[in-house]
Structures are given as C-alpha cells and as structure tokens.
Structure 1
Amino acid sequence: MIAGLKLETRSKGISVKFWARISRYLLWLTLFILPWQMRKVIVPVFHQGAFVEYAAISLYATDLLIMALLIIWLPGVLAKKRFCWGPRAISWPLVALVVWMWLSLIWVHQLGLSLLVGSWTAGHFTLFVLFYLYLINNVRTIRDILWPLGWGVACQGLIALGQYFSNHSLGLKWLDESVLDPNQSGIPVVIVDGVRRLRGHGLLPHANLLGGFLATSLALLVPWLYAVKRQWPHYLMWLLFTIGVLGLVVSLSRSAWAVFLLSMGGLALWALWARPKKLRAAILPGLIVTAVTLALVISQYSVIVPRFDLSEPVEQISLSDRLRQWGEFKEVYRKHPVVGVGIGQYVPYLKYLDQSTLGWSYREDVDGWVYNPGRDGRYYEPVHNIYLLAIAELGIVGGALLALILIGALVVVGGLVRKRRALVGVAALLSWLSLLVLGLIDHYPWTLQQGRLLVFLVLGMMAVLSVHSGYNKKRGGRKKRQFALS
C-alpha cells in the first residue's frame, strides 16, 4: 500500500512538472509572437468596399495561446485554492474597468450599435486581465518574460529592415504580413524627391505600432543586458537589442524615437547615480550599438529628415486627420458624456452619425443645404488619443477608472524603484511612461490587439516584480518566495 501511495505521489509530481513545462513553453511562444497579427477574421466589416479594421472581429494566434495557458492553469488554482490578485492599486481598478465595459453593452443595445463588436472587445480585455493575473501567479523568473521578448524584438527588427530596404512587403503571407505597396493609398510612407519610401512595419499592422512595441520592449530589456552573466548569452542579448534598435530606426516613428531616447537617457542617468560600475560595464557594447545605429541614421539621412518637416504633404494630411478626429470626439462626447457610447463602439458610432445625415440636409453653420455622400471606410478611425477614446466609449466613469489604473501603476512601480531591484523598476517605470506618452498621440494601446497585449504585459511585469519584491506585502497568504532576475 505504501509503495502504491509513493508511486501515485510520484506520478502526480511528474504530471505537474510536465504541465508546468508545457505552460512555460506556451508563455515563451506567446511573448515571442506577441506583435504578430496572425489571425482569423471571423466577422469582416466593409464600408463602400473598404475593410473597416476597428469594427471587424478577429481571433489572433496569441489569443488562442493565452486561452491554452489559462486552461492549463485553472485546475491548479482550483486544487490549491490559492490565488494572488497582485498589487491592489492596479488589480482592483482593472477589474472594475472590465466590469464597466460589460455594463456598457446595455447602452450599446439601446443605441442600436454593434452588440457583437462590443461583446468581443469586452471579452478581449477580460482575456488580457486574466493573462495579467496568470503572470502574477506563475512567473518565477524574469527570464521567462525577457528572453522570448528579446527574440521577438529582434525578429520584428529584421523583418522591418527587410521591408524598408526592399521598399515592399517580404511575401510572408503565411505569417499574415500586411501587403505593403508604397504606391497604395493609406500605406505609411515618406516621400523623398518624389519617391515614396516604405516605413518598416514588421508583422504589425502599422509602422507606428512597430515603433511603439520596439521602444517599450527595448527599455524592458536593458536590465537583462546586465543580468546575463555567461559570456555568449550576454553578447547574444546585446545583438538582439541592436537589431531591435535598427528596426526602431526604420519604423520612422518620431514618437517612438522620442520615448526610446528619453528611456535610454533616464536609465543611463540612474546608472550613473546609483550603479556607476554597471554603467562602466555597458560603455563598450553601448558604444558599439550607438555606432551601428548612427551609421544607419547617416546613410538614411535623406529619408529621416522629412519626418521632421511638417510642411510635407504626408505630414499635412496627418495633421488634418488629427484635427478632424478631435472634432469627431467632441461631437461624440457632447452627446454621451457620462457613460459613453459603449466599449468598441467609437467607429461604429461615427458610421451611425454619418448615415443619419446621408443625402441632402440643411446646415445652420453654412446657412444652406449640403449633400453628404458618406465617407470611404478607410477614413473611419478612432481619435488618436487613448484617454479621449476611453472617455468617448466609456464616459467619465470609464475615464476615471482608467486614470486610477495609470496612477496605481505609477505608485507600484515607484515602490519598485525604491526597492533592491531598482534597475528593473526604473526600466518598468520608463516603459510604462513610454506607453502613457504614446497613448497621447495614438490609439493602438486601446484599439489594436497587439497594443492592448503590450499594455497588459507591462502591467503584468510590474505586478510580478511588486509581488516578489515584497512591496505588495502578501502573496496569496503565503510567505514570499525568492524571485530570480536571471
């Protein structure tokens, strides 16, 4: 009998280790393909023949991987009856925001908008909140986040470099690479002497999203450059970092360049003040990365300079679009200030407003009759500001909950900076601030799957560090375990 019990216990132990290993591999794969837009469009939406991205329903490969992780994790949670919510300053407002998203479906139905899109969007945010909780309860070493993220950064950098120098997409249709033709309207380009030069996209749907992903991820990778002690992995991580920086350059995203330079400057100043030995150790590889990057910048000087000339036609169109979107936001907010139009409904509501004025109508502002033929579907875009977008969709209540999450995250990461894992804390702080700044001038952290997942990854990393540093005081009622940086 005793032998049988021992055999059963051993069998259970092997099973637990097996599923733990499977979960670890799935997590690595999830983080590696985080920026990929590999998906199945379940419900496509077209308007006047143009595909409307922000009203369509898609299932991504990373969604399926996260679902698999949660399914494997669930029996362990039920069996052990132990669960950690993480830092309350982040987790409680996050849960409240998701609940409010689901409640917003009530007025989505009342307005006659897309209940299916709203439910899918709320479900997406719910899935990523569960992924955030999974990270808190399962990540034991920061290596499990940063190694696959580093490889993912390098992969996107290489693909972006290939797209930029070939001036077209690379034919990676099996990876759902966007079809990138610089002569096609709507494709992000820079015009140099009348020639349209394609910006690097990687496997992401837009060059700005590639830039934001790389700028945020590269800041997170900096502590790993110091943590890896063995010689060849240390050099390998610097190589991956360098490729990511080069990919960031060819994304030609000014906002991403700005937040990356500020992040690197902040990390260098902190190291100079708190860890001068660490800074000295990074001088040689840092100079090599800088030299390689400057060589690329100088060789592409004629392409980079127009990005700062706001009189260029491409930049004028961009500015005009931003002004138009500001006017659209004010109209949406004026009509629904308290509860908004519902999660995922900003673009459907713009279409609704347009359709309500199709044909001839009298306008008091011009004192006459005007004809509205409707707009091409490509011109229906969310306002390029996640804070305004959240208020438009979820009202003042949703905006307040989002503000609580942002402030709570800053409080938590501020506590990390004061703890012994200060370099990781500073990197997490700068990555989070980068996302907040990028959210002022773009919408992808709220609207696009890869942008949302990036936000929750940074939140999850901050929460993991908080729980294991002791800043959160308790972890599911159990004694804090040692957390490994490497």
Structure 2
Amino acid sequence: MIRRAEQFLFYLLIFSIPFQARKILWQQSWYFNEWQSISIYATDVLLMILFVFWFFAGKKIKIEKADYFLVVFVLVSAISIKNSSNFVLSSYNFLKLVEFVFFYFYLKNYAVKKFGFSRSLAVLIAGGLFQSVIAIVQFLNQSDVGLRIIGESIIDSNMTGVASFYNKTGEKIIRAYGSTPHPNVLAGYLFLSVFGFYFLWIYKRVSKIYVFVYALILLAFFFTFARVAVFLLFVNFLIRVILVRFGGFKKEYWKKKLIPLFLTTFIVVLFFSLFYWPEAVSRIKISPREEAVQLRIFYNKESLSSLNWFGVGSGDFVNWLMVRNPNLPRNLYQPTHNLYLLIFSETGIFGISSFILFIVFLVKDFIIKTKMEKLHHYSFLLIFSSFLFLGLFDHFLWTLQQGRFMFWMVLALLSLGWLDTTHRKLNSDLESNKID
C-alpha cells in the first residue's frame, strides 16, 4: 500500500511538472517581479514527500567523480550569498539549488530504479498529451482555457506582456502556453515528451495509439513557436535518422518502427505548414534589430561586466541589475537569457568553473561507461546536448520551477543512460526487443 502510494506520487510529480499551482509567500516590492519573490509550489510539496520516502528507504547517495564538482558548485553558491544585496532572496535561491541537486541524486540513485524508466517515460508522455490538449485549445482560441487550479496563466490578445508575435498580415498571434509560465517552458517539456515517445516507440512494444499521441504533442510543440527548441528537435530527428541509416544500427526491425514515425512527422509538419505558414515564416525570420535579440545582447553584456570570484550572489542578478541600471522599465528587470552567463554572474569564476567541470566529467563518465555501443546511448547524449544548447538562449532551466525540474532530470538522465549495463531490470527490458 505504501509502495503504491509512493509510486503514484512520483508519477504525479512527473505529470505535474508544468503546473504553476503555488503560494507566493513573499515579494520584495509592492509590484510583483517573479525574480524578486519567494513561492512554494505544489510540486515542491510532492517532492518533499518523496524525499521522506527516500530517507526512510535507507538508500545511500552514491557520489560519482563528476558529482564532486557539483558539491563544490553548491558550496561556492553558498559562499556567494555574502555578496548578495538581499540575503533572504539569495538564501531562497540557494535552497532551491539544494532542493534540485537532491532531486538529481534522488532520480539517479533511487527513483528510476524503483519505479521503472519506461513507465516514467510513459507518464511523461501522458503529461505531454495533457499539456498539448491545453496548448492546442489555447492557440485556436487565442486565449487561456481557465484552468486556474493548475496555475494556467491568464492570456488574451488584448493583454500586454503576453508572448506573441505578428504575422505577415499584421495579425497578433499568441503562442501556446499550456499550464507553464511561458511558451518556451512548454516547448521544453514537450521536447522531453517527444524524446520519451521516441524511446518507447523504438525500444518497446507499445500501442499504435502512441503515434496519434505523438502527432498531438508535435502539433502543440509547433504552436509554441519556440524557435530554438523547434530547431533542436529537427536536428535531433535528423541525427537519429543518420545514425540508423549509416551508423551500423540498421536492421529490418527499424522499418516497422521508422516508417510510421516518418509518416506521422511528415503529416504533422505538412498540416502545420499548409495552415500556419505565414505565422511560421514570421517566427523563422530573425532580425538583429528584433527586441528579443537586442535584449539578449544587453543582458549578456551586463552579466559579463560583473567579474567576481564568487559573483553577485545566488539568485541576485535582477537586484544587481536594478542597482546598475535603475531607470529601465520594470518588465526589463529579468535574468540574463543565457544559463551559463547567469551562473557566472551570480556565482563568479569559481562557480561557473566548477559547474562546467561537473558537466564535462558527467559526459566523460557517460562515454567511458557506455562506450557508445547502443543507439539509445546517442539518444541520451543528444537530449542532454540539446538542453545545454537551449541554455545558451534562455534562463528558464535555471530560474523557473518547471525549467529546474527539466534541467536536473536531463542531468540525471545522462547518469542513468548506462544503467542497461549495470541494472538487471532495465537490461532485460531493453533486450526483450533485441534492437541495436
């Protein structure tokens, strides 16, 4: 009974990652700024309960070589608080870092082995389907659905500050949000859902209804109009095709799997292109004078101007920016849209150095342990690399609750990618299909 309850809560957490349901406990000013507030999310509560189960299970945390650099990074982040202009806010962001570092260890040392990798991916796909239905309705209606209970944002074409763009005819187009705070965040979650589908479709005997689910998720993914994420998905798809065709992985089995996948992808892309080509063209074109581009350049330059061994303080970039540029419009006080520059700015040279070493050794250990012998090893590395690349253009993986879950899941995924060589249950699960 207890095990089933724990399993249910874990699957519920994966499903509800995009939810925004929360209680705002504190804000720094009379006007609300996301980056100057303290909140507790429903997903925080779920995670804390799961940590209690983990604690009483008595499972020890296994520290790999790469993890030592992660520990150093956490320590540097703690020291950086001394430079912060707001001790409370900086301490909160440090505690969020600690929370998700534990989430990383929880996944790699306990949860996935206990509850199953394939089932976890199935729940991720179910979550993606749920978000896709919301997103498609939002996009077609150009307004929110009204699901406040899960934290859906209020979106309307007459509102300012809503993620939108203008098509070639001058019509304002609102991008799909799902229940996330921004379309780019939704795109990240749907990206993971697509990865989950690819993995189960290729390695497991799943119902053909999964193809229909994939089509809906892919369509909703396009409705986010997240340029970098869409680009990365096509690159991932192309690399997988090349690996199957020329990488020595091709067998008759792949024809049964890849043909339906190709056809479904082609149909969705064709449908989207036929009906939404003006919108797609408007988003594809990027001008150096575009506001989004100019703001990214501005934030990046500002972050590089704060050279410090320990940075301006964990989570304190926005406060620092306010002091440095006090006359900016309120809506422009945001973290720099580059994960690595944000880490550098907030935790300094020591912080970014230890973080990069953590990433490098994580990849090195993965390659050494797997020897890249199987196709899914390349798949894990692709999804990992995609999120690292995504971090060059956005900060949500580091600053928002939903993004943090995704980012640390992907980091744990690379540690789990070699489990098929050491974990009997997963090994037999993969070998049952005799692919690669």
Q: TM-score w.r.t. structure 2 length?
A: 0.91
Which of 42, 48, 60 is 1:83 aligned to?
Answer: 60
Which of 133, 138, 161 is 1:163 aligned to?
Answer: 138
Matched to 1:383, the amino acid is T
CA distance in 1 between counterparts of 2:91 and 2:225 reads: 35
Helix, strand or coil for the counterpart of 1:234? coil
Query: How far 1:417 moved relative to its partner?
Result: 5.1
* Residue number in structure 2 paired with 1:211: 187
Query: How far 1:307 moved relative to its partner?
Result: 0.8
Q: Is the 8 A contact 2:108 2:415 kept in 1?
A: yes
* Residue number in structure 2 paired with 1:134: 106
Q: Is the 8 A contact 1:413 1:466 kept in 2?
A: yes
Matched to 2:108, the amino acid is I
Matched to 2:207, the amino acid is H
Cα distance 1:181–1:295, how it changes in 2: closer, same or farther (>3 A)?
Answer: same
Which of 246, 253, 261 is 2:226 aligned to?
Answer: 253
* Residue number in structure 2 paired with 1:339: 310
Cα distance 1:46–1:236, how it changes in 2: closer, same or farther (>3 A)?
Answer: farther
Q: Does 1:330 align with 2:273?
A: no
Which of 91, 98, 104 is 2:80 aligned to?
Answer: 104
* Residue-by-residue CA offset, 1:309-330 (whole Å, 9 max, x unaligned): 2359xx7111221222133223
Q: Does 1:42 align with 2:25?
A: yes
Matched to 1:83, the amino acid is K
Query: How far 1:27 moved relative to its partner?
Result: 1.1
Q: Is the 8 A contact 1:219 1:430 kept in 2?
A: no
Cα distance 1:400–1:210, how it changes in 2: closer, same or farther (>3 A)?
Answer: same
* Residue-by-residue CA offset, 1:336-369 (whole Å, 9 max, x unaligned): x2110111000011123345xxxxxxxxxxxxxx
* Residue number in structure 1 paired with 2:8: 25
* Residue number in structure 2 paired with 1:349: 320
Matched to 1:397, the amino acid is F
Cα distance 1:327–1:132, how it changes in 2: closer, same or farther (>3 A)?
Answer: closer
- Range 295-304 or range 210-219, more displaced: 210-219
Helix, strand or coil for the counterpart of 1:324? helix
CA distance in 2 between counterparts of 1:74 and 1:213 reads: 28
Cα distance 1:424–1:84, how it changes in 2: closer, same or farther (>3 A)?
Answer: farther
Identical counterparts, % of pairs: 26
Cα distance 1:409–1:234, how it changes in 2: closer, same or farther (>3 A)?
Answer: farther
CA distance in 2 between counterparts of 1:290 and 1:172 reads: 32
* Residue number in structure 2 paired with 1:425: 377
Query: How far 1:46 moved relative to its partner?
Result: 4.0
CA distance in 2 between counterparts of 1:454 and 1:30 reads: 12
Cα distance 1:39–1:247, how it changes in 2: closer, same or farther (>3 A)?
Answer: same
Q: Does 1:282 align with 2:257?
A: yes
CA distance in 1 between counterparts of 2:70 and 2:196 reads: 22
Helix, strand or coil for the counterpart of 1:394? helix
CA distance in 2 between counterparts of 1:126 and 1:164 reads: 36
Cα distance 1:416–1:303, how it changes in 2: closer, same or farther (>3 A)?
Answer: farther
The Cα RMSD (Å) is 2.1
CA distance in 1 between counterparts of 2:177 and 2:21 reads: 14
Matched to 2:378, the amino acid is V
Query: How far 1:142 moved relative to its partner?
Result: 1.1
Which of 238, 241, 249 is 2:211 aligned to?
Answer: 238
Q: Is the 8 A contact 1:87 1:466 kept in 2?
A: no
Helix, strand or coil for the counterpart of 1:406? helix
Query: How far 1:84 moved relative to its partner?
Result: 4.1
Q: Does 1:402 align with 2:376?
A: no
CA distance in 1 between counterparts of 2:378 and 2:10 reads: 24
* Residue number in structure 2 paired with 1:15: none
Q: Does 1:188 align with 2:163?
A: yes
Aligned length: 422
Helix, strand or coil for the counterpart of 1:276? coil
Matched to 2:134, the amino acid is I
Q: Is the 8 A contact 2:86 2:316 kept in 1?
A: yes
User: If you compute each CA radius of gyration, which structure gives the higher value, 1 or 2?
Assistant: 1
* Residue number in structure 1 paired with 2:434: none
CA distance in 2 between counterparts of 1:481 and 1:88 reads: 23
Helix, strand or coil for the counterpart of 2:301? helix
Structure 2 residue ranges without an equivalent (≥5)? 431-436
Query: How far 1:460 moved relative to its partner?
Result: 1.6
CA distance in 1 between counterparts of 2:235 and 2:369 reads: 20
Helix, strand or coil for the counterpart of 2:60? coil
Structure 1 residue ranges without an equivalent (≥5)? 1-17, 356-373, 471-479
* Residue-by-residue CA offset, 1:220-263 (whole Å, 9 max, x unaligned): 4312112332xxx4323323322221111000011011110111
CA distance in 1 between counterparts of 2:368 and 2:260 reads: 30
CA distance in 1 between counterparts of 2:86 and 2:300 reads: 23
CA distance in 1 between counterparts of 2:63 and 2:412 reads: 9
* Residue number in structure 2 paired with 1:149: 124
Q: Is the 8 A contact 2:21 2:41 kept in 1?
A: yes
Q: Is the 8 A contact 2:372 2:378 kept in 1?
A: no
Which of 73, 76, 81 is 2:54 aligned to?
Answer: 73
* Residue number in structure 1 paired with 2:282: 306
Which of 58, 76, 100 is 2:39 aligned to?
Answer: 58
* Residue number in structure 2 paired with 1:10: none
* Residue-by-residue CA offset, 1:399-427 (whole Å, 9 max, x unaligned): 0011012212322332465355x233222
* Residue number in structure 1 paired with 2:433: none
Q: Is the 8 A contact 2:136 2:223 kept in 1?
A: yes
Query: How far 1:289 moved relative to its partner?
Result: 3.0
Q: Does 1:375 align with 2:301?
A: no
CA distance in 2 between counterparts of 1:236 and 1:62 reads: 29
Query: How far 1:119 moved relative to its partner?
Result: 1.3
